[in-house]
Every structure is written in C-alpha cells, then in structure tokens.
Amino acid sequence: MANILITGASSGIGAELAQRLSSRGDSVFLTGRSEEKLAALACGAHLAADLTAPGSAEKIVAAAVEKFGSIDVVVHCAGIGLIKPAADTTDAEFTQVMNVNTRATFLLMREACKVMGAAKKGLFITIPGILGKAPMRNASAYVASKYAVTGMVKCFAQEYQRSGLRFCLFHLGGVDTPFWDKIQMAVQRDKMIPVSTAADLIQQAIDAPPHLVLSEVVMQPESHQLV
Ligand SMILES: NC(=O)c1ccc[n+]([C@@H]2O[C@H](COP(=O)([O-])OP(=O)(O)OC[C@H]3O[C@@H](n4cnc5c(N)ncnc54)[C@H](OP(=O)(O)O)[C@@H]3O)[C@@H](O)[C@H]2O)c1
C-alpha cells in the first residue's frame, strides 16, 4: 500500500479520500487548516497548516516524510472558490484566490517533487476542475487561478519526464461538497458529481500501474458536457 499525502483533507473530496484510502490500508498524512476537522477524521497522521503561510509546504512535506519515510502519492485538494462578476471582484479577493489555488499549489508541488524526484517515483494529483480547462462567466479570478494550475502541472510533467514522477489533472465539473456552501450562486447540488464518484476516479489514478499515468480526467454532469 502507498504513503499518501492529502491536502484539503478536512473537507469534501480530500476528506472522502482520506477515509477510504486509510480504511483500505494506505498510510495517509492529512493536512488542512482545521485541526478539529482533521482530528475528527481519526485516520492516519495529520498536521494542521495554512498552505499560504511561509514555510508551510516545506513543513508538511518534511512531516509526512518523517512519519512514513517516503511519499508515494500527493493528492492536492486544498482550494477555495470565488464566483463573482469581474466588476465586483476586489483586488484582495483576486490575490487571495491566486494565493491559495495557484501559489500554494506551486510551493507544495515544488517541495513534494524534490522528495519524490530524489526517490525517482511519485504521483502528484491536482484538481483544477473543469474551470482549469474551460471558462465560465462570473468566475474570472477562479478560472485564472485554475488555468494557471493546469499550465504549471504540465510544465512540471515536462521537467520531470523520464524521472519516474507522474502528474494527473482532474477536470471535474461541480462536485457536491461543502465547497458550494460558501458560493453565492444557484446550483442544483443533486445534479452534481457525487463526492464518492470523484473519489472513485482519483482512486483509479492512484491505482494505475506505476509505469502508466492517467494524465487528464474530465467528468461533467451530462447537462454541462464539453464537446
Ligand atoms: N466541489 C467542486 O465542485 C469542485 C469542482 C472542481 C474542482 N474542485 C476543486 O477541488 C478541490 C477540493 O474541493 P472540495 O469540493 O473538496 O472543497 P471543500 O470541501 O471546500 O474543501 C477545500 C479544502 O481546502 C482546504 N483549504 C482551503 N484553504 C486552505 C489553505 N489556505 N491552506 C490549507 N488548506 C486550505 C480546506 O481546509 P480548511 O478549511 O480546514 O483549511 C478544505 O479541506 C479544490 O481545489 C476545488 O477548487 C472542486
């Protein structure tokens, strides 16, 4: 079984993965800001941290390596939403969404890849979502942050090509998680991708043979399919 670092493990897709991977025997190292929510999951080891704080990525990666000896897989689920017309989006909101979704992803990926690169094996999974691949009105800041993730991951994949590291992008449409509790937009949660389905797909990427990689996965509700 694998040593798996999961960010954004205190909620939604990350929490679902933490529970299912831990119960099948993987060693999971969980992170998120909420100590209380991470502790309540009662699986694996955890370290509460804000990924945007200086030194957080280094601390999290070092703590996971200290706990398990190595990192085989990173599932990077930490992220925040922002759905607002451009005219109403403040500088502070734009900066925050870029800081959490883009800059923190870069810092974590850079640190994790140093460790996995030295081991010449590892899988880094990110979830830019469908808005890291297709634009949507009233989401310019969020879309900017997620397109940037898509581009960065593709660059890392080229930099680490033939070094045993694999990179996977999940372009999921709306997933029914607490992510939507904080978004002011009329949505049909019952038509979204169930969180268990999102976790099934990510588990398939983790379980792919080590010489193969599921590079990009797109899943949308039928009503929103891309052609
Ligand atoms: N739900 C969707 O429809 C959907 C669709 C496509 C892509 N995505 C992406 O998938 C990922 C997971 O989404 P989700 O639906 O599971 O969202 P969620 O339930 O809101 O969970 C987000 C996670 O990110 C963590 N987080 C937020 N800011 C952080 C920070 N500064 N430092 C560390 N951790 C932070 C949160 O933990 P704390 O609050 O404890 O810090 C939480 O565990 C996100 O990147 C999201 O953009 C979601």
- What is the domain partition of the chain in residue ranges? 3-224
Q: Residue 184: what pLDDT?
A: 87
Q: Is the CB of 18 under 6 A from ligand 1?
A: no
Q: Residue 226: what pLDDT?
A: 82
Atom of ligand 1 nearest to the CA of 126: 45
Q: Is the CB of 77 under 6 A from ligand 1?
A: yes
Helix (H, G, I), strand (E, B) or coil at 144: helix
pTM higher than 0.95 for the full model? yes
- The protein residue whose alpha carbon is closest to atom 47 in ligand 1 is 79
Q: Count CB-CB contacts under 10 A for residue 114.
A: 11
Bridge partners of 172, per DSSP, are 219
- CATH for 3-224 is 3.40.50.720
Give tens-digit pLDDT for 58-74.
Answer: 999 999 999 999 999 99
| Residue whose pair of structure tokens reads 């925040």 in the numeric block | 80
- The protein residue whose alpha carbon is closest to atom 21 in ligand 1 is 11
| Residue whose pair of structure tokens reads 């607002």 in the numeric block | 84
- The protein residue whose alpha carbon is closest to atom 36 in ligand 1 is 8
**E strand intervals along the chain:** 3-7, 27-32, 45-48, 73-76, 122-126, 165-172, 216-219
- The protein residue whose alpha carbon is closest to atom 37 in ligand 1 is 32
CA distances from 90 to 53, 87, 105, 146 (A): 21, 8, 22, 18
Q: Residue 227: what pLDDT?
A: 74
- Tell me the best of 6, 11, 107, 108 to mutate to test the pocket of ligand 1, counting ligand atoms within 8 Å of each CB and taking the most: 11
Q: 66: buried, middle or exposed (CB in 10 Å: 19+, 13-18, 0-12)? A: exposed
Residues lower than pLDDT 70 in the chain:
none
